[in-house]
Amino acid sequence: MIKKNIFLTGSVGVGKSTIIRKVIKQLSLNVSGFSVDREGKKNDWNSFYLVEASSYNNDEQSKKSEFNRFAFRNDYSKNWEINIQVFDEIGVQLLTNIDYADVVIMDELGRFELSAYQFQKKVEEVLASDKPVLGVIKDESNAFLDKIRNRKDVQIFRVTLENREEVYKEVLSLIKQILSMKE
């Protein structure tokens, strides 16, 4: 049985989101869902934003504002301030408008949404729907992420610098199979 929900995991910067963008572009997919945009220096981020995954379709810059910023800190030594409402309102909305999408993007699921229960419920609804999901899941353990990993309809690929081209080809092939079964 082909699992229709595909997640990539691995270290920061190995190319997980790049694989998703390449698959979307290669197959000319219409997508919905969300991606995470960042501000700051790599591994020293100071802000995270929830943005529409449809920006993957047209290579446009995602819109970042205080309304879709879900985590920020003033300096690296400070704890993150998290705005759960961004997940429970904007995140839920981005996962609701999926009717015309070939694939739903969830790039990335992690730890900041641990208290965003409406968002978590919506993620589970989409995973249980007939829409295929292509996403990134943070390489750590928590109740939310482990619940997704343990689903029977989820397949996870570990991406490394060495295997990312093979993972891309495998994911591309799987998405083609999943979409052809829906026709």
Domain boundaries, the chain: 5-36+83-182
Question: What is the model's pLDDT at position 169?
Answer: 98
Instruction: State the CB neighbour count (10 A cutoff) for residue 6.
Output: 22
The pair of three-digit structure tokens given for residue 53, joined into one six-digit string: 């995954």
Asked if the model's pLDDT at residue 28 lies above 80, the reply is yes
**Residue range 85-110: average pLDDT?**
95
pLDDT at residue 40 is higher than 90: no
8: pLDDT strictly greater than 90: yes
φ, ψ at 44 (rounded to 5°): -140, 40
Find the angle CA(3)-CA(120)-CA(122) to the nearest 5 degrees. Answer: 70
CA 39-45-48 angle, to 5 degrees, is 55
Residue with tokens 């939310």: 144
CA distance 30 to 134: 12
In the chain, what are the helix, strand and coil shares in percent, each to the nearest 5? 35, 25, 35
pLDDT of amino acid 61: 62
Q: How many helices (H) and strands (E) does the chain have?
A: 7, 8
Tens digit of each residue's pLDDT (9 = 90 or more) over 113-130: 999 999 999 999 999 999
More confident residue, 95 or 58: 95
CATH number 3.40.50.300 given to 5-36+83-182: yes
